[in-house]
Amino acid sequence: MLAKALPRPCSGAADGDALRRRAAAAPGSLGSVGLTTGGVKTRRGGGAGVKLVVAAARPRPTSVVPAAAAAARDRTEAVPAAPAPAPVDGKNVFNGSASAVPGINKLVTSTVGKSTNILWHECPIGQTERQKLLNQKGCVVWITGLSGSGKSTLACAVARELHSRGHLSYVLDGDNVRHGLNKDLGFKADDRAENIRRIGEVAKLFADAGLICIASLISPYRSDRSACRDLVPSSSFIEVFLNVPLEVCEARDPKGLYKLARAGKIKGFTGIDDPYEPPSDCEIVIQCRVEDCPSPKSMAEQVVSYLEANGFLQN
């Protein structure tokens, strides 16, 4: 009776053959043979009698492509490659690359500046549809002039007048944008150029959305303003020059900057030790003399009248 209760000792090759037969009968099972990892199979259970059986790796059978998958592949190969979109401003470099998207043989990507492998996605709702919804045409009203000339005041007056007439606008004020988007920029020449470039790009997006975007900032250099004009159709860029004499701006000095510049505490201040280049061919000039400056409301009406006369405001 005692002999029957004892576990059967390992019997060498005979037990090994039995394990191999069981493994061959149920490959990969989790029964008496156990887990399979690569080509090594381990038998579950502790104590004496646990064996490692190394099985030769079987070659993976050649996969058979179902008829439906083959037909789908044939249809994909039959679809012609999508035509390459036209370059934007002549700056894009297009490179065809193999696509894993069914039905498309190649995706056309572009390189713009430091951005590579980017793809422009068109939306079925475009500027025309948005403008119909708003009953107006998107444009950029770019107000330029010296510090203290009244750019921010005019921008808000124009926005108020448009709002009263039921038209949607948005003001991009130079100082306001520096509180967020452009807070990483200073007032050196390169930073000022980048500040204007970014605002120009944002204004372009607002105009594309169908809004009347009013940008008010010194923007002292013609080249920077021209670059922003080139971002939108020329007729949709309305440059407004607040032609206010330096002595009037300095007398106003709403932020006390002229005093600091005169004291040498601010370097590169426009109108003092940095030049301002007035527009040579702008759409609107608002003249202000020492003792004769129009009111913000009358200046705003002049801008809105231009927008109305040129078809940007619709009823």
Condensed to tens digits (0 to 9), the pLDDT of residues 85-125 reads 555 444 444 444 444 566 666 667 888 888 888 887 888 88
pLDDT tens digits, 139-189: 999 999 999 999 999 999 999 999 999 999 999 999 999 999 999 999 888
Whether residues 86 and 21 share a domain: the answer is no
Whether residues 177 and 227 share a domain: the answer is yes
Active site residues: 219
Whether residues 72 and 176 share a domain: the answer is no
Whether residues 117 and 131 share a domain: the answer is no
Whether residues 33 and 182 share a domain: the answer is yes
Query: Structural domain of residue 109, as residue ranges?
Result: 52-121
Cα–Cα distance for residue pair 254/150, rounded to 1 Å = 10
Whether residues 144 and 267 share a domain: the answer is yes
Q: Which of 121, 148, 173 lies at the terminal end of a domain, its last residue?
A: 121
Has residue 9 been placed in a domain? no
Whether residues 235 and 90 share a domain: the answer is no
Q: Look at the chain and report how many structural domains it folds into.
A: 2
Q: Which of 92, 121, 150 lies at the terminal end of a domain, its last residue?
A: 121
- What is the model's pTM? 0.65
